[in-house]
Amino acid sequence: MRIFFILILSIQYTLAKDYDFKSLYKVAQERNPIIQDKELELKEIDSEIKSIKSDYYPKLHAIIGSEKRIAPDEASVESNKAVGELRVDYNLYQFGATKKKLDALKEEQKQKKRLINFTQEELKRSLMALYFEVLSHKKHKELILEELKYNQKLKKQVQSKREQGLVGRADVLEIEMREATLKNTLLKVTEEYQHGLDKLRKLTFVSHNQEINILGSLPHVHFSTSLSDLLESALKRNNELLNINSKTLALEYETDSSFSKRLPSLKLMGRYGRMRIDETYTSNDSQEGLVGLYLEIPLFDGGKRFSKQAINQARLERSKLKLKSTKHNLEIDLTHRFEKFQNIHKLLDLSETNLKKAKIYFNNVLSEYKRGVKNSLDLVSARDRLYQFQLNVINYNKDYQDSKLELERLSGINL
């Protein structure tokens, strides 16, 4: 049974597909529909722009049909008539209402294009955060397995000393309890690791049946940046800020457009052909035409146009207030994140320094244990400290990467 279980694990490992971050991101780009969704939103705006631009062109339409005039009391005026007419309507001038509406849509178009780029970057950062989370669980698993293996070695050494009468039963129990604790931790970390893999599968649209093996390491790269540089970049590139700014500009155009619609408009209208009986200008059954230039003045509509302008004006003022508060909050959030990032970086540097010392310390304790200077409890304590410092490096490195990604999201630059 044990051989069968090992065989199953070996087959699963053989069928597992290796992924580093680059290959994961490539799969996510190909399969995740979120970018396609944003591209479809852009197409909607493009179509709306084309629809508004059509107002710049004359509207042509034809009327074709047949009419019969019926007059029971005056049979002499009854007649049949074939109708065929071409009509032209052309809005010559409306005080820029169409242009301002078009400007509002173009501003929204810019925002949608920017949103596609942001979505790609956000997908990359979200995937990278998950990748580092899974990788940290994997490193923790490997660390525990290494400790379990070394614990067997310690157990043999303690049992050997016990057989020689140098230590008691308590020393052996100490090693056995450490082994049980490590196994419990391994179960928890394995569950977290598998859950992390499932979250990766969701984001990349990889099948749940596909075994995944994550490759790579947690990088610790030093780079120089300042809070002032991050703040300057955020004011220019922060996606939330840019979106609110675009919305504010679009509302300004919408407000101007709604005001222009309250003003007179100049229209050109024309028609030519065999007109309908009730619209005929001559008594002859012949081709007729009419061309007119009209100034259309809106006098009263129950306040509909004014209300529309007031609504847009209120939305504009609200958007300006939101823009102001977003700038204020962004500065505070970015300052806090930068300070947190610096502190985590210091903790990571210190943990790496402590790890080097812990390795030296453990080797010294091990040497003294072999000479009989240190006891089993001293050895286990030194090994546990080494394990904890190794785990600290993994955790702080993962926190360092998360903090770095958050700075990138807020500032809009890649560090």
| Lowest mean per-residue pLDDT among 42-56, 170-184, 211-225, 285-299 | 285-299
- Residue 7 pLDDT class (50, 70, 90 cuts): very low
Residue tagged 């809106």 (tokens): 298
Helix (H, G, I), strand (E, B) or coil at 61: strand
> Into how many domains does the chain fold?
1
What distance in Å separates the CA atoms of residue 76 and residue 72, rounded to the nearest whole number? 9
184 by Cβ neighbours in 10 Å (0-12 / 13-18 / 19+) ranks as exposed
- Structure pTM? 0.77
Q: What is the pLDDT of residue 349?
A: 95
Q: How far apart are CA 405 and CA 126, in angstroms?
A: 9
Residue 364 forms part of a structural domain:
yes
**Higher pLDDT, residue 331 or 310:** 331
- The answer to whether position 270 is within a domain reads no
Token pair of 170 as six digits: 């308590």
pLDDT tens digits, 62-121:
888 887 777 666 665 667 777 788 888 888 777 777 788 888 888 888 888 888 888 899
- Give me the chain's average pLDDT, please: 85
Q: What is the pLDDT of residue 71?
A: 66
Q: In 238-303, which residue ranges form alpha helices assigned H by DSSP? A: 239-260
Write down the pLDDT at residue 80. 74
Give all strands (DSSP E) within 174-217, no chain letters. 212-214
Residue 160: per-residue pLDDT = 80
Find the CATH number of the domain harbouring 170: 1.20.1600.10
Percent of the chain with pLDDT over 90: 35
Q: Is residue 57 part of a domain?
A: no
State residue 73's pLDDT score.
65
88 is a domain residue: no
E strand or H helix at 19: strand 17-19
pLDDT tens digits along 341-353:
999 999 999 999 9
How does pLDDT run across 207-265, given as a tens digit for each residue?
Answer: 888 898 999 888 888 878 889 999 999 998 888 898 888 888 888 887 877 777 777 87
* Residue linked to tokens 């956000």: 122
Residue 249, domain extent: 17-31+94-262+298-411
Residue 310 lies in a domain: yes
Unique residue bearing structure tokens 């610790």: 220
Instruction: Show Cβ contacts of residue 102 under 8 Å, excluding neighbours closer than 6 positions.
Output: 49, 52, 53
- Asked whether residue 361 is domain-assigned, the answer is yes
Tell me if 304 is assigned to some domain: yes
Mapped onto helix, strand or coil, the DSSP state of residue 67 is strand
Q: What is the dihedral of CA 265, 266, 272, 276, to 10 degrees?
A: 30
Closest C-alpha among 115, 62, 119 to residue 270:
62
Q: Which of 160-169, 250-259, 380-389 has the highest mean pLDDT?
A: 380-389
Instruction: Establish if 293 belongs to a structural domain.
Output: no
- Range picked from 52-56, 92-96, 173-177, 286-290 for highest mean pLDDT: 173-177
